[in-house]
């Protein structure tokens, strides 16, 4: 993909998928789905890409692989945008990470739970919340949660990553 050689990328993706099936390790399977999603996006198939990218995301979260999970989350947003989901970009001028933090808080997570779910420190969660309050002109956690519900940010919290309450 780095060399803009889609044909080689397809062959590499197919080979990685064969290796993943042979060894059936969660890491190989996640990498295969991740790369297959990248190839499908490059081929202009965002709907198919979403399916394999969501599977890769679940695997990365289960493996506690935060960098890979973050990369796949960005690819998922790209696929949603390709499908015309204008809500894929966070509202209110929030960054993707701020939106993820806010979605965690709106779903009832404490700072500690949000930090664990997003593989960041509690201090980083607190910093993101301060930025969120400033950007949105809000003064409380409750107001921020209400804003998140109003703007449907809870959809950013994957069911498998939640540690509290029923799925949205």
Binned average pLDDT, 10 residues per bin, the chain of 168 residues: 83 93 92 95 94 92 82 83 72 83 89 91 94 87 86 57 35
At CB < 8 A and 24+ separation, what contacts does 130-138 make?
A: 131/98, 132/94, 132/98, 132/101, 132/102, 135/92, 135/93, 135/94, 135/98, 136/92, 136/94
pLDDT of 156: 53
Tell me how far apart the alpha carbons of residues 114 and 102 are, in angstroms, rounded to a whole number.
9
Domain boundaries, the chain: 6-87, 90-161
Give the DSSP letter of residue 157. Answer: S
Domain 90-161 has CATH 1.10.10.10: yes
The three-state (H, E, C) secondary structure of 87-98, written as one string: HHCCCCCCCHHH
pLDDT tens per residue across span 106-131: 888 899 999 998 889 999 999 999 99
Q: What is the pTM of this model?
A: 0.56
- DSSP character for 83? T
Tell me, what's the pLDDT at 87? Answer: 59
Residue 107 pLDDT: 84
Number of Cβ atoms within 10 Å of the Cβ of 47? 10
């Amino acid at each position: 993909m780095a060399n803009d050689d889609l044909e080689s990328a397809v062959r590499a993706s197919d080979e990685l998928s064969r290796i993943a099936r042979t060894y059936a390790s969660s890491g190989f399977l996640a990498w295969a789905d991740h790369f297959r999603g990248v190839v499908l996006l490059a081929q202009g198939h965002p709907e198919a890409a979403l399916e394999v990218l969501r599977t890769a995301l679940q695997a990365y979260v289960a493996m506690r692989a935060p960098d890979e999970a973050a990369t796949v989350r960005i690819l998922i947003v790209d696929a949603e945008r390709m499908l015309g989901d204008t809500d894929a970009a966070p509202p209110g001028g929030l960054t993707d990470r701020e939106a993820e933090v806010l979605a965690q808080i709106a779903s009832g997570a404490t700072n500690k739970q949000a930090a664990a779910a997003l593989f960041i420190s509690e201090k980083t969660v607190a910093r993101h919340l301060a930025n969120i309050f400033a950007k949105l002109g809000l003064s409380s956690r409750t107001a921020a949660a209400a804003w998140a519900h109003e703007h449907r940010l809870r959809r950013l919290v994957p069911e498998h990553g939640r540690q509290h309450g029923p799925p949205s």
